[in-house]
Structure 1
């Protein structure tokens, strides 16, 4: 079993695929990827089989579902897609738990989930998120079709093709935009109050989870998600900061929706020396305590962590651990508030089931579900700032160092 943290997965991925993984984060398919279709199943017994449940009523009764299926087959005026019925039944069981993070993913969604976390993008190469409740371009990947088209961070997506997206969430918007490499998609956006339209040809783009630079003697480490090599890349950047003699470090976790828990744990080791990063509790009892690993090469450097409402799960774990141990201050906006741990089970034919198995707590015992982390210094990034290319949060962090 491999542990990870939710934007979606694996830390040190083994050479062969494992059957289960643990992950913490929020599912945001912002990469706008294309997907691989699943396969069909031909009868209702196979639908029941995916749950590992037979006709024993002591486990789970399928009489109602069987009746619905029988009536559909008898009376429905059209062609039934058994694969869609199977996935729908699976999705319904997971949704009935009442937990928004316990979800069933069909083969397409599971493939996108894995690809997104590993930075494999087949689409326009744009990262999107909600700003003011509207789907908005947050970042354009270097060399991407989105960047060459003239799109800019801060553009509000109002239409994809012929479909209005004003009230759509990120996932629904991304579903409309993604597609096969070489095909085109039309986007209508608002830039400020000015409407603009773009026709973009989708392509394959690879996006690294870590970027770093040195500005005016300050090391800026941007972590976009926690995927399989994030901790390694972050440590390499940290070592460069030390060699260049920076006077402080900014860690940018804004819009980082999570990833593999072990990667957040290992990244914390860049600042913490064998100290508690996070504890997991199930049913109120502590089931696991994760401590930092590796040499704390930045432990003596003043550090500011940038966060916002898109910072969730694994990024909240890292930010919370650094602040609780007095290694960093937080600047920006309140974080998302994702305080649960999910285990990802690989099912037949490429499907996956993600189940909440525990809650996680910061070193000082805080669970951040709903409340999130409050920054030590609150600085807003407005739409006007984005439209004009300003970043007052980054500017304030530099001044603080």
Structure 2
């Protein structure tokens, strides 16, 4: 049986010619209360709506998972076959996972998109920031596997200490670097700003070996260079990082101030 107050309001609406604002209905009518059955019905409806929405999310996720499973079926079949049948020395699971990720990145054919393993991520982030604690020298590996200095950053500790391009790094803080990778050597040289690093240097031009202490400083890698050849200006950008844009702007303005012909 309907609530009486609702019957009266309903009658008001049905009689279009006598519609009045609800505020003018008698106080007893405006204080109408929901019956227990109506309240229960509303609660059940809300719960069912939430349940359907939630189940919809679960069903959607499950379908998404099934789609991923189908996409990766060939991958996992290959993985399991190699895992069981490969006769050689099997790389670690982590190396295989990294290799799979690297293979995916390679398919993008984009030289500016790369996967960096977590062990090298901190070094990479420092490099991309353009600032780090170091000595201000670029290092490479020669044909004999020895690290050597390729370039000195102007005004930085390595240049001030008298190091030169082609100087070979034999040791860092008394530790031989023979057999180390380039990343390992660079990691030894870098450190907290204000700390000292001792490099053992072999200088081929003088056939001498010596120890050179260098104080680490905040290094801002110079990626933009400019100069004049006659009345022709040139601008060189060696790499990209967080400070490349500001350095390029500075070098370009320096060129324009010299009024180059081209």
Alignment TM-score, normalising by the size of structure 2: 0.51
- 1:87 positional shift: 6.1
- Determine which of 26, 35, 60 is the counterpart of 2:76: 60
Q: Is the 8 A contact 2:130 2:242 kept in 1?
A: no
Give SS of 2:76's match.
coil
Structure 2 residue aligned with 1:110: 121
CA–CA distance in structure 1, aligned partners of residues 104 and 197 of structure 2: 36
User: In the alignment, is residue 151 of structure 1 matched against residue 163 of structure 2?
Assistant: yes
Q: Is the 8 A contact 1:137 1:152 kept in 2?
A: yes
User: In the alignment, is residue 209 of structure 1 matched against residue 220 of structure 2?
Assistant: no
Q: Which runs of 5+ in 1 are unaligned?
A: 1-52, 68-84, 248-300, 302-401
CA–CA distance in structure 1, aligned partners of residues 211 and 163 of structure 2: 9
CA–CA distance in structure 1, aligned partners of residues 193 and 97 of structure 2: 30
The CA deviation string for residues 96-117 of structure 1, in whole angstroms up to 9 with x for no partner, is: 7796x864421x5223213212
Structure 1 residue aligned with 2:187: 175
User: In the alignment, is residue 119 of structure 1 matched against residue 130 of structure 2?
Assistant: yes
- 1:201 positional shift: 3.1
CA–CA distance in structure 2, aligned partners of residues 202 and 87 of structure 1: 34
CA–CA distance in structure 1, aligned partners of residues 195 and 96 of structure 2: 32
User: In the alignment, is residue 185 of structure 1 matched against residue 185 of structure 2?
Assistant: no
- 1:219 positional shift: 2.8
Q: Is the 8 A contact 1:91 1:104 kept in 2?
A: no
CA–CA distance in structure 1, aligned partners of residues 94 and 131 of structure 2: 25
Alignment TM-score, normalising by the size of structure 1: 0.36
Q: Is the alpha carbon distance of 1:177 and 1:240 closer, same or farther for their aligned partners in structure 2, counting shifts above 3 Å?
A: closer
- 1:238 positional shift: 3.6
Q: How does 1:2-401 map to 2 (within 5 A)?
A: 58=73, 59-60=75-76, 90-94=97-101, 103-106=115-118, 109-132=120-143, 134-166=146-178, 168-192=180-204, 193-214=207-228, 216-228=230-242, 230-231=244-245, 233-234=247-248, 237-247=251-261, 301=262
- 1:197 positional shift: 1.5
Q: Is the alpha carbon distance of 1:220 and 1:185 closer, same or farther for their aligned partners in structure 2, counting shifts above 3 Å?
A: same
CA–CA distance in structure 2, aligned partners of residues 184 and 229 of structure 1: 26
Q: Is the alpha carbon distance of 1:203 and 1:88 closer, same or farther for their aligned partners in structure 2, counting shifts above 3 Å?
A: farther
Q: Which runs of 5+ in 2 are unaligned?
A: 1-67, 85-91
Please report the RMSD computed on the Cα atoms of aligned residues, expressed in angstroms.
4.0
Aligned residues: 177
Structure whose alpha-carbon radius of gyration is higher = 2
The CA deviation string for residues 49-71 of structure 1, in whole angstroms up to 9 with x for no partner, is: xxxx98x982537879x99xxxx
Q: Is the alpha carbon distance of 1:242 and 1:184 closer, same or farther for their aligned partners in structure 2, counting shifts above 3 Å?
A: closer
The CA deviation string for residues 162-190 of structure 1, in whole angstroms up to 9 with x for no partner, is: 44335554323212322233433322121
More helix by share: 2
Q: Is the 8 A contact 1:120 1:206 kept in 2?
A: yes
Give SS of 1:189's match.
strand
